[in-house]
Amino acid sequence: MQLAKVQEAQVESVDVTALAQRLKESRALSTELASHLTEEDMVVQAMDDASPAKWHLAHTTWFYESFVLQPYLARYKQFSDDFSYCFNSYYVSKGARHPRPHRGLLTRPSAQEVLNYRAHVDAHLVEMLDTLAQHPEEYAVVAPLVEVGINHEQQHQELMLTDILALFARQPLQPVFKSDGKSTSSNTAPAPLSWVPFRGGVCEIGHAGPGFSYDNEGPRHHVLIHPFKLAHRCVTNSEWITFIEDGGYEDPLAWLAEGWDVVQRKQWTAPEYWEKKDDVWHQMTLSGLHPVEHAAPVCHVSYYEADAFARWAGKRLPTEFEWEHASTQTTHDNEPNTLGHGRLRSSPAKAIQAETATQMIGDVWEWTSSAYQAYPGYQAPEGALGEYNGKFMCSQYVLRGGSCVTPAGHVRHTYRNFFYPSQRWQFMGLRLADNA
């Protein structure tokens, strides 16, 4: 791998101390999240798309071991010869892997051994960064890989919380991962929907300049965007209940053909984790089962559901280019509802000023109508890291904006998340768009 061409990591010249501190904080957050779980919680896999918490802790450690320590720390000794098979995810060029649907069968290594593995790798990462402080040329090669590792771990922190919710929602005792300590009014009406106009034009899209970005966020390029309008907030639970009560899940004319097939096959009648008790909709969250909060953004809906709702409402989903253009024209909340906020579920939109979009960072990932594909001129990085994003550019749709469990500071307006249109266990919602 030619490290000069690793596009995942476009980092500024930062001192070793600052990078080491960010690495330490990132690693500590993963173990802190896992501290709310029992060892039994950490082993079980809720479904094929999810992974056990223990696996997330080990995989992010394997990433540093495989991409940083083994290639660039000559005296590093691998913790276990078996761990690469157990904790490699999809890096075919790194060798054979344990099947993803069977990760929940990995009762060994134990959770404690995984924590020992993390401590072993962390100690060598600290040693390596201390050494690099005296060798700026070597630091310039390794630092971008550490930056990728930090952002990779942040992705898995979000996935770990997503997968824990999928697991706890399937438990008859409906356990609480972590109480957010915030009481809410379930029947407060959402703020009336308003529309923010955007002129469009030939706009620049994609990441450029200093700061980290993933390879799929570039190259920066020009896109023609026609004038459009964007809803000032995300679609709410209250509006979704109206969709349900109006027969939205029963009307084939509102659905894409594949979406209708999925609805029929899986017998969807509401978003993931919703259930009715005493004629009141409730939702399972990381803080337990709560009455659905009417003013909060609807969450855990698939692309098919988002598209059907938009059709039912007489609107559409924005393209990812419209979303990004609008995001660059918006003054973002200084304290968005991300993981750093601590609520762990979506929150009602704040009061707005005229012609101002809200909730564009945090709360829920917002489905767009854009297929996940390469930007013009895109080239995947050489080597194993080239498998990170590029090979998934098929049959998926782009989501933007981050969620209530995205680590603070991880997301940006050029960030492109992507999932298959039938998936909905992630914190996924939507915002409506319309032609001007």
Please check whether residues 152 and 289 belong to one and the same domain. no
pLDDT of residue 356: 87
Please check whether residues 263 and 329 belong to one and the same domain. yes
pLDDT (tens digit per residue) in 100-136: 999 999 999 999 999 999 999 999 999 999 888 888 8
pLDDT (tens digit per residue) in 254-298: 999 999 999 999 999 999 999 999 999 999 999 999 999 999 999
Please check whether residues 260 and 147 belong to one and the same domain. no
Please check whether residues 415 and 329 belong to one and the same domain. yes
The reply to whether 306 falls in a domain is: yes
Please check whether residues 136 and 211 belong to one and the same domain. no
Instruction: Flag the least confident range among 60-64, 86-90, 386-390, 429-433.
Output: 386-390
* Chain-centroid distance, C-alpha 222: 26
Residues 6+ apart with CB under 8 A from 40: none
Cα dihedral 348, 354, 360, 366, rounded to 10, equals 80
pLDDT of residue 136: 86
Task: Describe the crossing of helices 111-132 and 136-168 by its angle, rounded to 10 degrees.
Answer: 160
Which residues span the domain enclosing 57?
3-168
**pLDDT greater than 90 at residue 403:** yes
Please check whether residues 272 and 212 belong to one and the same domain. yes
Q: Is 97 helix (H, G, I), strand (E, B) or coil?
A: coil
- Distance (Å, rounded) from C-alpha 136 to C-alpha 129? 11
The reply to whether 274 falls in a domain is: yes
Task: Spell out a b/e string for 202-240, using b for 16 or more CB atoms within 10 Å of the CB, else e.
Answer: ebebbbeeeebbbbbbbbeeebebeebbbbbbbbbbbbb
Q: Of the residues 119, 152, 168, which one is the last residue of a structural domain? A: 168
Please check whether residues 217 and 336 belong to one and the same domain. yes
pLDDT (tens digit per residue) in 334-366: 889 999 888 999 999 987 765 789 999 999 999
The reply to whether 218 falls in a domain is: yes
The reply to whether 175 falls in a domain is: no
Please check whether residues 26 and 130 belong to one and the same domain. yes
- Given its phi and psi angles, is residue 384 left (phi above 0), alpha (psi -120 to 50 degrees) or beta? alpha
**pLDDT greater than 90 at residue 426:** yes
The CATH code of the domain that includes 307 is 3.90.1580.10
Residue 363 near residue 430 (C-beta atoms within 8 A):
no
Token pair of 191 as six digits: 């703020």
CA angle 277, 280, 285 (to 5 degrees): 75
Please check whether residues 163 and 210 belong to one and the same domain. no
Domain count, the chain: 2
Phi–psi pair at 71, nearest 5 degrees: -75, -30
Q: Of the residues 168, 186, 211, which one is the last residue of a structural domain? A: 168
The reply to whether 17 falls in a domain is: yes
pLDDT of residue 358: 93
Instruction: Flag the least confident range among 130-139, 163-172, 202-211, 315-324.
Output: 130-139
The reply to whether 188 falls in a domain is: no
- Nearest CA among 405, 419, 429 for reference residue 163: 405
- Given its phi and psi angles, is residue 420 left (phi above 0), alpha (psi -120 to 50 degrees) or beta? beta
pTM for the model: 0.94
Please check whether residues 208 and 350 belong to one and the same domain. yes
Q: Of the residues 122, 149, 168, which one is the last residue of a structural domain? A: 168
The reply to whether 181 falls in a domain is: no
pLDDT of residue 6: 37
The CATH code of the domain that includes 83 is 1.20.120
Block residue for tokens 């964007």? 230
Q: Which string of DSSP letters, residue by residue, matches 163-223?
A: HHHHHHTTSTT---S--------TTPPPPPP-EEEE--EEEEES--SSS---GGG-S-EEE
Please check whether residues 72 and 154 belong to one and the same domain. yes
Output the CA torsion sign for 279, 236, 342, 186: negative
The reply to whether 326 falls in a domain is: yes
Please check whether residues 89 and 128 belong to one and the same domain. yes
